[in-house]
């Protein structure tokens, strides 16, 4: 089987024609969970921290407003879209003149051969989830149950991370990895809002993972090492900070790059606080944070990230941060005393 759509879209892109949104081509749209209104919770931080911030990512404004809290916020609805006769080729969904990129295309020339046909499939993966492990765990895995309830759960066939197969196994995920297929009935989802449905599904993920280990005992917290993994932002005194919290506060130290998923779950389960450099690695611990727990993000001053505050606000947890000081190209340091003083502002940390 063949499809001309990738070649047609390449020609349109060369002609600088903007593709239509795939959702506009839906034959049917419905709401899975309604939108909800709420208030942003104030973050926990020492005086003077926000004044150090010189840059931020994954946001359009300085983090001051979000960290101060009290602003009204609307958590978007979760919606489903049904399309007929779509194709998924080389990480891109196509339907007529509309498309949706789920990952960077792997080749310069368009792939036009369709290898299989799927009667009814539901795509749960996202472009951000295919790029960042943290988004995969907090977003794509949470959408998977919606997809599995509607058809064959589909994802792209790009290479997976070291931990993906074990997480999928423990979460009961059995997706079809697709390179090139025609899908007679395709379901896609809009599931970015942190509404009550997303909250329940995310909490369920942690419960499923902990069901594979002995009931965990509460402990003060876990320090998650980033090291030189992922996009480089090296915390020069990372190990020293982790060892200080271990020796003085009973924290556990976790290097996810060196251990398997069972070890990760056993180390993080029961933690009242998750500390580490902002980034995907924090999700290993956030999955298991109880209500009242805390995320303490160690932030480079030129790259502040507030993404995980959306999750802690949703789940009744605290988001705290310490902004570091630049120390060479791409490196930074965190003041150990400031980190400890920030932890002292969190009564839940030592409540275990």
Quick: pLDDT tens for 81-109: 999 999 999 999 999 999 999 987 656 66
In this structure, are 189 and 225 located in the same domain?
Answer: no
At 349, the pLDDT band (50, 70, 90 cuts) reads very low
Hey, what are 233's tokens? Answer: 């932002």
In this structure, are 268 and 181 located in the same domain?
Answer: no
For residue range 54-68, list pLDDT tens digits in order. Answer: 999 999 999 999 999
Q: What is the CATH number of the domain that holds 330?
A: 3.40.50
Res 330: pLDDT: 76
Residue 123 lies in a domain: yes
Evaluate if residue 348 carries a pLDDT over 90.
no
Contact criterion met (CB below 8 Å) for 153 and 175 = yes
In this structure, are 194 and 222 located in the same domain?
Answer: no
In this structure, are 181 and 223 located in the same domain?
Answer: no
Q: What's the sign of the alpha-carbon dihedral 45, 46, 47, 49?
A: negative
To 10 degrees, what angle do helices 336-344 and 238-249 make? 40
Residue 206 lies in a domain: no
Residue 177 lies in a domain: yes
Cα distance between residue 295 and residue 279, in whole Å: 12
Whole-model pTM: value is: 0.93
Hey, what are 196's tokens? Answer: 């009550």
Residue 246 lies in a domain: yes
Residue 37 lies in a domain: no
In this structure, are 228 and 322 located in the same domain?
Answer: yes
Task: For the chain, give the percent of residues with pLDDT over 70.
Answer: 96
For residue range 282-316, list pLDDT tens digits in order. Answer: 999 999 999 999 999 999 999 999 999 999 999 99
Res 88: pLDDT: 95
In this structure, are 173 and 225 located in the same domain?
Answer: no
In this structure, are 24 and 82 located in the same domain?
Answer: yes
For residue range 229-273, list pLDDT tens digits in order. Answer: 666 789 999 999 999 999 999 999 999 999 999 999 999 999 999
Domain count within the chain: 2
Residue 56 lies in a domain: no
> What range defines the domain where residue 88 resides?
5-31+77-200
In this structure, are 222 and 303 located in the same domain?
Answer: yes
User: Which of 200, 235, 251 is the last residue before a domain boundary?
Assistant: 200
In this structure, are 249 and 160 located in the same domain?
Answer: no
In this structure, are 242 and 338 located in the same domain?
Answer: yes
Residue 226 lies in a domain: yes
In this structure, are 269 and 339 located in the same domain?
Answer: yes
Burial class (CB in 10 A: 0-12, 13-18, 19+), 101: middle
In this structure, are 85 and 196 located in the same domain?
Answer: yes
Residue 57 lies in a domain: no
């Amino acid at each position: 089987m063949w499809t001309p759509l990738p070649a047609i879209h390449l020609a349109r892109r060369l002609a600088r024609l903007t593709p239509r949104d795939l959702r506009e081509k839906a034959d049917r749209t419905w709401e899975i969970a309604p939108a909800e209104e709420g208030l942003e919770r104030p973050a926990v931080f020492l005086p003077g921290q926000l004044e150090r911030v010189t840059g931020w990512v994954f946001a359009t404004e300085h983090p001051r407003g979000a960290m101060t809290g009290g602003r009204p916020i609307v958590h978007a609805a979760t919606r489903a879209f049904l399309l007929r006769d779509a194709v998924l080729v080389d990480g891109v969904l196509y339907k007529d003149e509309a498309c949706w990129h789920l990952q960077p295309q792997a080749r310069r020339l368009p792939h036009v051969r369709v290898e299989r046909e799927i009667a009814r499939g539901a795509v749960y993966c996202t472009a951000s989830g295919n790029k960042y492990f943290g988004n995969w765990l907090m977003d794509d895995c949470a959408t998977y149950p919606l997809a599995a309830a509607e058809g064959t759960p589909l994802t792209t066939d790009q290479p997976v991370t070291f931990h993906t197969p074990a997480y999928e196994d423990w979460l009961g995920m059995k997706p079809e990895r697709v390179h090139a297929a025609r899908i007679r009935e395709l379901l896609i989802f809009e599931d970015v809002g942190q509404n009550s449905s997303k909250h329940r599904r995310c909490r369920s993920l942690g419960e499923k993972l902990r069901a594979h280990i002995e009931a965990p005992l509460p402990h003060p917290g876990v320090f998650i090492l980033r090291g030189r993994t992922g996009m480089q932002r090296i915390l020069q005194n990372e190990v020293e900070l982790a060892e200080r919290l271990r020796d003085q506060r009973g924290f556990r130290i976790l290097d996810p790059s060196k251990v398997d998923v069972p070890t990760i779950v056993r180390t993080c389960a029961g933690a009242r606080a998750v500390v580490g450099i902002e980034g995907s690695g924090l999700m290993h611990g956030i999955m298991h944070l109880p209500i009242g727990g805390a995320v303490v993000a160690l932030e480079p001053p030129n790259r502040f990230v507030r993404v995980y505050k959306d999750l802690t606000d949703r789940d009744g947890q605290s988001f705290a941060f310490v902004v570091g000081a630049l120390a060479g190209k791409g490196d930074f340091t965190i003041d150990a005393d400031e980190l400890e003083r920030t932890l002292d502002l969190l009564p839940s940390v030592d409540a275990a």
